Structure 1
C-alpha cells in the first residue's frame, strides 16, 4: 500500500443533509451520538435536517464538521486495519480533527473545545467589523506586501490562508479588506471574491479568541500524537503536547500555510493525501498544489472502497 496522509476540512464544508447515507454506517452513527452527549443537544438532527441558518452558526458548524470528519476517519480506520496513515493535517478547524485522529486529544474534549473556539471567535470581533476575501492570480509576496501597503493603524488586513499557488485568502478589518481588494484588482489579480463570513479568521484581530482558547487548552489533557500532525502555522509536523498547544493558539491569529504543508508531505515521501470529511474542498486544493499526488475523499462507504483501491494500485 502506498504511503499516505489523511487531511481534514475546515469551516465552509458543511451542508444540511451531509453524510445522510453514511449515517447507515454504525461507526458514523455512534460518533454523532457521542457528539450529542458531549454537547448536550442533537447535533445529528441539525446536520441532517437543518435549518441551514442553525448549522451555519459558527459554534455549531465547528462541532458538526469535526464530528463528521472523525466519524469518517473511524470508518476508514476499520477498513484499513493495520495500514495506518503516516501523517495527518487539517485546514484551520480541521487541525482539531487531525489531532483526534492522532490520539492527541479525545473526541469528547475536541468537540467541546471547537464549540468554545467558535463562540470565542464570534465574540472576539463584532459582526460587520471584519471580513475575508479570496485573491486569485497573484504571487504570495505580492499579496503580503499589498496588505501591508493598504493597512492603517487600527484598520489592517493580512494574508490568512495560503490555499494554492495563486489563491490566497486575506482577512482583517472590513474597510481594509475592501481597500486591499481594490488594490489587487488594479495590480493584476484575476479575481477578488468577498467571502460570506462573519469572522476575520487567522489574523491578529482574533487575539481575544486565542487568549480564551489558551485558557481552555490548559484544562484539557493533551497527549503525545501517535503520528506526525502538520501544524497550520508551521507547515511542519508536531507531536509533543507543548508544541501542539502552542500551534493551536497561534493558529487563530496566524496564517494557514496549506501549500507548504502539502509540499512538505510530498517531500517527506508521502504519495497520497486523502481528505476525510464532508465536501471535497481539500482534494481540489491538493491537486492544484501537486498533480502527482494521489488524492481522494472519504464521505461515504463507497468512497472508502474507491480510496482503498487507489492506495493499493
Structure 2
C-alpha cells in the first residue's frame, strides 16, 4: 500500500474544527499551542468558537485551517500513520510541507499568517471574485478565459479541482462575461463563490511580490517526503523548488486534478485527508474512483482510518 496525505484549503473551514482532537490528543494540542504562540494570537480559540463571520475572513481562515491540519497531522503521527507522499490544496500546501519536514509548525504558521495578510491586502487593492464552473472540460474553460483576456479581461482558471469542476478567478466584470460564454459552450452551472478576492489569479500578484522575500528569509529545508506542488503538479524535492513554488502559488493555479492523477499513476492508492471536512475526499473520488480515501478531522474518524489502514 502506498499512502498519501492531503491537506484542504479555504472553503473547508467550520466553527468547532479541531476541538475534539485538542481535548483528546496530546500531539494535536501541542500543535495548536505552537500555532497560537507563533501567530501571537488565539488561533485555536477562533477554530473552536468562531464566530463564523470572523473565521471566514481570509486573514483568519488560512491560519485556522493550517492549525487544524497540522494538529490532525500530529494526531495521525501519534497513531502511527506515516505517508510516503503529500500534497495540499492552496493553503493546504503549507501543512503538506510541514508533513514533509521542509519547515516546522511554527515556521509554517508564520508563513501562512503573512500569506493571509498579503492576500487580504491584495484583495482590497485589486477587488475580484471567483466562480465554480460545473460540467465543462478544463481545456474549454481555459480556452474561453484566454480569449477574453486577449480583449482586455482578467479571468483565469484558478482551481482545476476535478473533471467537470473548474474554479475561475478574476475581475467581477470578467467573471460575468466568462459566465455568458461558458454557458453557451455547455457549462451546466456557474456558481459564484463567497470569497473575499480573486485568489490564484493575476490580481494576487501584489501578494506574490510581498511573499517572495518573506519566504526567502525563512528557514526552509529539502523535503524529506515527496511533495506535489500546486503550480507544477509535479514533485518538488529541494528547498529552492519549494520557495519558488510557494512564491508563485498565490497568483498561480491549483492543479489538483493533475496532482491526483500523478499520484494515482505513480501507484498511490490510499489517501488520507488531514483537516476539517471532506472536500478533498470527494474530489479525489471523482478523479480516481478506485482510490481508497479517508478523511480525518476528529478522534472518531482517526480511529476509523487507523483500523482501515491496518486491515
Could you tell me which residue of structure 1 aligns to residue 47 of structure 2?
47
> What is the deviation of 1:312?
2.5
Per-residue displacement from partner, 1:254-308 (whole Å, max 9, x unpaired)? 1111011111101111110110000110000000001111000111122122112
Could you tell me which residue of structure 1 aligns to residue 233 of structure 2?
235
- In the superposition, relative to structure 1, how do residues 142 and 206 fare at CA in structure 2: closer, same or farther (>3 Å)? same
1:29-178 equivalences under 5 Å are: 29-80=29-80, 84-126=82-124, 129-151=127-149, 155-178=153-176
> What is the deviation of 1:209?
0.5
Mapped contact 1:163–1:259 kept (Cα < 8 A): yes
Rounded Cα–Cα distance in structure 1 between residues aligned with 2:254 and 2:126? 23
> What is the deviation of 1:3?
1.3
Mapped contact 1:127–1:199 kept (Cα < 8 A): no
Rounded Cα–Cα distance in structure 1 between residues aligned with 2:127 and 2:83? 41
Q: 1:264 and 2:254 equivalent?
A: no
Mapped contact 2:154–2:202 kept (Cα < 8 A): no
SS of aligned partner of 1:125: helix
> What is the deviation of 1:142?
0.8
Alignment size in residue pairs = 310
Could you tell me which residue of structure 2 aligns to residue 254 of structure 1?
252
Could you tell me which residue of structure 2 aligns to residue 280 of structure 1?
278
Rounded Cα–Cα distance in structure 1 between residues aligned with 2:150 and 2:222? 41
Q: Which runs of 5+ in 1 are unaligned?
A: none
- In the superposition, relative to structure 1, how do residues 221 and 94 fare at CA in structure 2: closer, same or farther (>3 Å)? same
Rounded Cα–Cα distance in structure 1 between residues aligned with 2:219 and 2:232? 22
Rounded Cα–Cα distance in structure 2 between residues aligned with 1:237 and 1:149? 31
Per-residue displacement from partner, 1:61-92 (whole Å, max 9, x unpaired)? 11110010001011101111xx5211000000
The farther-off stretch of 122-131 and 290-299 is 122-131
Cα RMSD of the aligned pairs, angstroms, is 1.4
